[in-house]
Amino acid sequence: MSAAPSTEADAHFNRGVRLHQQGALQQAIEAYDRALALNPEDAEALFNRAHAFHGLGMLDDAAQSYELALFAHPGYDKACCNLGVVLKEKGLLAAATARYEQAISINPCNAEAHFNLGKVQKDLAQFDSAIASFSRATALKPDYADAYWIKATTLLLTGNYQEGWPLYEWRWLKPGFPSPYRKFAAPLWLGRESIAGKTLLLHSEQGLGDSIQFCRYAPLLTRLGANIVIQTHASLVPLLQQLEGSPSVLSFQQAPPPFDYHTPMLSLPLAMGTTVEAPPCPGRYLRSLPDKSAFWSNRLGAKTGIRVGIAWSSTSTFADDHRRSMSLASFLRCLTEIGDPRFEFVCLQPEIKSSDLETLQSRTDLRFFGRDIADFGDTAALIDNVDLVISTCTSVAHLAGALEKPLWLLLSHVPDWRWLIERTDSPWYRSAKLYRQSSAGDWSPPLDRVRRDLLELATHMQAP
């Protein structure tokens, strides 16, 4: 008789597994619940149910079920590690750290626990510890692409370009990486072969800002004797055609001519041996199109005050976009009140989130052109016609830097790797001034500093 409940529980559990694999998470949870009603201490059923709750975004339920799995099986290091992941998503970094450390104490060979501990340490700006944790993860799991890649970005963030650039090549093996590796008949060029007299295809990857930042290498490669062809996003084609040396610039929809080598754009720093002390072309390396600049000059009309271009968020689907973007309502903290005659404010974003629409409409002093900004040629022309750009970490910020327009850049506590740590300047863009969060998620101090500096700028410019 005692075997019957166990057999029935197993049947419900196995049905839950099948539903789980099919993505029917709610039905899987119901099947796991039936199994647990018959066998409440089944750690595997509790673990799977927690995983399904997590997949549905039900973090509190997931955490509770992982806790029960650990209570049923105290040596269940995977449940401990996954509980840490849930706690991190809830913003409970200290609790997540404790769970990862517990998982490691249970099983020192749990590569995922070392990896996830490193991610929390990075979020806490404990960069040396994070790098050590990622190294332990890759030592245990030599093909751990996620760990190599985040170790690379942490090394780059801390200015260790020598070790960071080679490891950054692991991005192509990282599951879910937004730019799939492109295979060509022509070989990859990473700086070893001479390219004098050769045709080199440079192709964009990742975001628009990445292409704007790293297209700066094209003129350097032209000076090495290469014939440069760039394949990029259609919205960037007119702008990148203004690069020194007039490279051939095509959209991804256009087939490139025959070429001898190819290089993804973010492999160029590795190929060119870029150091943190001297990235190439920190000044102006892009130009706006004269006809577009004239058009937007006429559209904006005569200046009535200091003209400030603003960008506060992107529409990116990047998982951590919420860290580098903010709502317009929050961003307004750094601007002056409506009607201040010393300033004009121009929105440099062609699109805004629906949650920002009401705030935008309430600020009659913010000029918003929407879809009239057809491509980055229009954005560059608008930037040419302002005195200053204030932006979060968006493609607009990269464009302002590439045009060498004064740029005040608002950054999260642990920003994207290219902005390094602690500095108020950028070796990549000499016109940039960086305003950093002093603690994670708190935009108030940097926004207040921007507002203070904006008012000081107005006083200085009005002084006789």
**In the predicted structure, residue 414 carries a pLDDT above the cut 60:** yes
How high is the pLDDT of residue 1? 29
pLDDT band at 459 (very low <50, low <70, confident <90, very high): confident
Distance of CA 85 to the CA centre of its chain: 20
Task: Convert the pLDDT of each residue in 21-77 to its tens digit.
Answer: 999 999 999 999 999 999 999 999 999 999 999 999 999 999 999 999 999 999 999
How high is the pLDDT of residue 3? 36
- pLDDT > 70 fraction of the chain, expressed in percent and rounded: 97
- 50 three-state secondary structure: helix
Q: How do 227-232 and 199-203 pair as beta strands?
A: parallel
Q: How do 199-203 and 261-264 pair as beta strands?
A: parallel
Cβ density class 133-153: b for 16+ within 10 Å, e for less:
bbebbbebbeebbbbbbbbbb
The pTM of this model reads 0.93
- pLDDT > 90 fraction of the chain, expressed in percent and rounded: 90
How high is the pLDDT of residue 319? 63
Rounded-to-5 percentages of helix, strand, coil across the chain? 50, 10, 40
pLDDT band at 6 (very low <50, low <70, confident <90, very high): low
**In the predicted structure, residue 320 carries a pLDDT above the cut 80:** no
**In the predicted structure, residue 199 carries a pLDDT above the cut 60:** yes
**In the predicted structure, residue 4 carries a pLDDT above the cut 70:** no
Mean pLDDT score of the chain? 94
Tokens of 35: 């199994």
How high is the pLDDT of residue 226? 97
Please name which of 412, 424, 396 lies closest in space to residue 309, comparing C-alpha atoms. Answer: 396
* Residue 371, burial from CB neighbour count under 10 angstroms (0-12, 13-18, 19+): exposed
How high is the pLDDT of residue 281? 94
How high is the pLDDT of residue 324? 86
Would you tell me how many other CB atoms lie within 10 Å of the CB of residue 444? 13
pLDDT band at 336 (very low <50, low <70, confident <90, very high): confident
CA distance 328 to 343: 18
pLDDT band at 364 (very low <50, low <70, confident <90, very high): confident
Q: How do 343-347 and 366-367 pair as beta strands?
A: parallel
Would you tell me how many other CB atoms lie within 10 Å of the CB of residue 109? 12
What is the H or E stretch that residue 309 is in?
strand 306-311
What are the distances in angstroms from CA 86 to CA 43, 92, 279, 313, 359?
A: 18, 9, 39, 26, 33
Please name which of 391, 389, 382 lies closest in space to residue 331, comparing C-alpha atoms. Answer: 391
**In the predicted structure, residue 5 carries a pLDDT above the cut 60:** no
Q: Picking from 206-220, 263-277, 304-318, 442-456, which range would have the lowest pLDDT averaged per residue?
A: 304-318
Are 274 and 165 a contacting pair, CB within 8 Å?
yes
Mean pLDDT of 409-420: 97
How high is the pLDDT of residue 464? 42
Tokens of 418: 């290219």
How high is the pLDDT of residue 339? 79
Mean pLDDT of 377-404: 97
Task: Convert the pLDDT of each residue in 69-124 to its tens digit.
Answer: 999 999 999 999 999 999 999 999 999 999 999 999 999 999 999 999 999 999 99
pLDDT band at 337 (very low <50, low <70, confident <90, very high): confident
Task: Give the ranges where 158-256 is alpha helix by DSSP (H).
Answer: 161-168, 208-214, 217-223, 237-240
What are the distances in angstroms from CA 338 to CA 300, 350, 369?
A: 18, 22, 19
Catalogue all structural domains in the chain, each as residue range(s) with its CATH number.
3-173 (1.25.40.10), 199-271 (3.40.50), 290-462 (3.40.50.2000)
Mean pLDDT of 139-161: 98
